[in-house]
Amino acid sequence: MKFSEQWLREWVNPPVSTEELVEQLTMAGLEVDSVEPAAAGLESLLVGEVLSVEKHPDADKLKVCQVSIG
């Protein structure tokens, strides 16, 4: 069965690291096959706010957007 660490910590939130939590689960008789980041590959993702959208001066199917990324 797969479940997220966040989901588990909603039910029980021991003040331990992920590695210690895995060890405690294993010692309790639950087999932990692997621990994987849920959002792997999103480290360089940026979230921005679109401030304005205007027609492109030279193309009918394009828009020029002003975006703030913080």
Q: What is the pLDDT of residues 12-59, one digit of tens each?
A: 888 999 999 999 999 999 999 999 888 878 888 899 999 999 999 999
DSSP 26-65: HHTT--------TTTT-TT----EEEEEEE-TT-TT-EEE
Contact 51, 68 (CB under 8 A): yes
For residue 13, the model assigns a pLDDT of: 85
Q: Is the pTM of this model over 0.95?
A: no
Quick one: DSSP state of residue 21? H
Q: What is the pLDDT of residues 2-24, one digit of tens each?
A: 888 899 989 988 899 999 999 99
Hunting for tokens 């692997």 — which residue is that? 34
Instruction: Give the range of the structural domain holding residue 24, as residue numbers without chain letter.
Output: 5-68
